[in-house]
Amino acid sequence: MSRKTSKISVIPLGGTGEIGKNLLVFEFEDSIVVIDGGVKFPDDELLGIDLVIPDITYLEKNRERIKGLFITHGHEDHIGGLPFILPKLNIPVYGTKLTLGLVRAKLQERTPYPDSLMHVIEPGEQIKAGAFEVEAFRVTHSIPDAVGYSLLTSIGRVVYTGDFKVDYTPIDGQNMDLGKLAAWGEEGILALLCDSTNAERPGVTMSERAVGKTLQEWYERAEGKIIMASFASNVHRIQQAINAAFDIGRKVCVVGRSMESVVRTAIELGYLKLPQEDMIIDSSEVGNIPSEQLLVLTTGSQGEPLAALTRMATGSHRQINVRAGDMVIIAATPIPGNEKLVGKTINHLYEIGAEVVTKETGQVHVSGHANQEEIKLVIRLARPRFLIPHHGEIRHQAALRKIGHSLGYADQDIALTQLGSRVELSADRMEFGERVEAGSVYIDGLGVGDVGQIVLRDRQQLAQDGVVVVVVALAAKGKHYRLLSGPDIISRGFTFMKEAGTLVDEAKKVVANTLESQLQKDQLEWGVLKSMMRDSLSNYFWEKTRRRPMILPVVLHY
């Protein structure tokens, strides 16, 4: 392949047209570089599905060309898919210290991965990955050690911001490397992939430091124990909460599996600093400490039914009870779709008599993503030739395109991608190439990819109106069959059968009539017989109840 005709391909296998399961593929000449491998939480209609990961068929087919997988930061939507993805690819993994620490903890839960393939990198380090030279640059986000990436090739540089906000006063003092972005911009950036999550929101996002101040104020007002729920990975917020607790002489108890795991990793790696050695107490000791000397840091800010805060609110947590007079701070916004669950938790807490502080009533949360003015700053500094809105639903990507327009970019300078789009970049052109295989793989229990559209459609029908099994046994009698037993009817999730005697009796008659007419025929086809039974029963139930349970005919014949 001659260098002259080479193009850089940008292929999103996740994170475009959606928020979640981020995975970006970059191709140049014979080399492939991958960024991130996240999960997405299932929509309501994906009944029974636990997680959604990107379809990586394309990567599996091109495995030998992959030079490495680089990770931007340790959030689930960027690393949660790795336990499923990495074992299939067996490729080197690169990330900053905390990020890799979180990835290691995650991999250990499911699939061990060779340590020799895990490489801790520093922002500014230049890593040769085939035809790419990859360099991480520091960004500020709602988790420490987050980076974006520059991918330099012989025909130009592509930059991906990763998830970011422009926080001028980050808790850890690690500023976003705006200077690097400006320097690259000066040299010339071919294309910028930019976080679109908050592109609909005007102005700027507040600094995480603002939350610290508000937390202090709330903590000072609290009389009973303080229970604070937030995303486990928001180490900065946890740091601020611990500092504020220390200032007023409260001990800290960390509750909830993911919170405990992140806090352990962050302390081990030096990202979380305790103002005092014995500040953290075990949940078994909670009973020995007066309420007014206690801060509980916990999971459940999304109202997840099994999370610690939810269990505390419903009185089903083993160690921690919420009591009247306790203060519960929910330091997070509900992810779209979780509003009702969070509302339920809040109502339970009020029922107990707790004081509940939320983003609405107490400014205890700020977003980790850049609003419009921050996005403009980054684009102005980077001055890319082309713009690729990433990390967002179509509405967010369209909003980022609008920002692009306001900065002078024309429609053809901005690429709105879909899953599997191939954006081809040459020094002065951006166009769409041939799409690659892409989509969603559903994880349900131990099954990866064994639940697809047919199974989901069945679950939806079962969820709506339940199931009815109708059983008959037939015995051969000359060249015909006669009814040996049945029809019998079993149902679940349809109607309360004990009180539906008439309905069941008539339904049996309907099936019996169908059988009678069919069994007289000379050529009895079992498939036809079953579908006749199904249709007659389905029509009967629809007429009587306006419901369409799934009907499963069972015909035994001897």
Q: Which residues are catalytic?
A: 195, 369
Q: What is the CB-side half-sphere exposure of residue 276 using CA atoms within 13 A?
A: 15
Q: Which of 120, 471, 483, 524 binds a second copy (CB under 8 A)?
A: 471
The CA distances from residue 530 to 132, 162, 515, 526, in Å, are: 61, 55, 9, 6
> Angle 178-187/372-382 helices, nearest 10 degrees?
40
Q: Is 554 among the residues that bind a second copy (CB under 8 A)?
A: yes
- For residue 99 the two structure tokens come to 């990020």
SS3 assignment for 226-245: EEEECCCCCHHHHHHHHHHH
Pairing type for strands 550-557 and 8-14 reads: unpaired
Asked if the peptide bond before residue 487 counts as cis, ω within 30 degrees of 0, the response is yes
The CA distances from residue 142 to 206, 263, 337, 339, in Å, are: 12, 15, 21, 21
> Please, what is the minimum distance in Å from the beta carbon of residue 453 to a second copy?
10
> Please, what is the minimum distance in Å from the beta carbon of residue 534 to a second copy?
12
> Please, what is the minimum distance in Å from the beta carbon of residue 264 to a second copy?
26
Q: Is 552 among the residues that bind a second copy (CB under 8 A)?
A: yes
> Please, what is the minimum distance in Å from the beta carbon of residue 293 to a second copy?
26
Q: Is 48 among the residues that bind a second copy (CB under 8 A)?
A: yes
Taking CB under 8 A as the binding criterion, the range among 44-52, 138-146, 208-216, 317-325 that sits at the site for a second copy is: 44-52
Q: Is 444 among the residues that bind a second copy (CB under 8 A)?
A: yes
Pairing type for strands 280-281 and 251-255 reads: parallel
Query: What string marks each residue from 148 to 187 as x (binds a second copy by CB under 8 A) or -?
Result: ----------------------------------------
The CA distances from residue 220 to 215, 217, 292, 327, in Å, are: 9, 5, 10, 11
Q: Interaction with a second copy in 278-337: which residues (CB under 8 A)?
A: 336-337
Q: Is 506 among the residues that bind a second copy (CB under 8 A)?
A: no
Q: Which of 120, 394, 483, 510 binds a second copy (CB under 8 A)?
A: 394
> Please, what is the minimum distance in Å from the beta carbon of residue 130 to a second copy?
35
Q: Is 439 among the residues that bind a second copy (CB under 8 A)?
A: no
Residues 494 and 549 sit within 8 Å (Cβ to Cβ): yes
Q: Which of 69, 100, 356, 537 binds a second copy (CB under 8 A)?
A: 356
Q: Which of 206, 267, 462, 510 binds a second copy (CB under 8 A)?
A: 462
Q: Is 464 among the residues that bind a second copy (CB under 8 A)?
A: yes
Nearest-angstrom CA–CA distance, 98 and 539: 60
Give the DSSP H or E segment for 223.
Answer: none
First and final C-alpha spacing in the chain: 68
Q: Which of 186, 282, 360, 525 binds a second copy (CB under 8 A)?
A: 360
Rama region for 204: left / alpha / beta (φ>0; ψ in -120 to 50; rest): beta
Closest to a second copy by CB, 121 vs 322, is 322
Q: Phi first, then psi: give them for residue 219, nearest 5 degrees.
A: -55, -40
CA–chain centroid gap for 525, Å, is 48
Q: Which of 257, 285, 350, 517 binds a second copy (CB under 8 A)?
A: 350
Residues 520 and 480 sit within 8 Å (Cβ to Cβ): yes
Q: Is 70 among the residues that bind a second copy (CB under 8 A)?
A: no
Residues that bind a second copy (CB under 8 A): 17, 43-44, 47-48, 200-201, 336-337, 339-340, 343, 346-347, 350-351, 356, 360-361, 393-395, 398, 444-447, 450-452, 454-456, 458-467, 469, 471, 473, 484-485, 488, 490, 492-496, 499-500, 544-547, 550, 552, 554, 556, 558
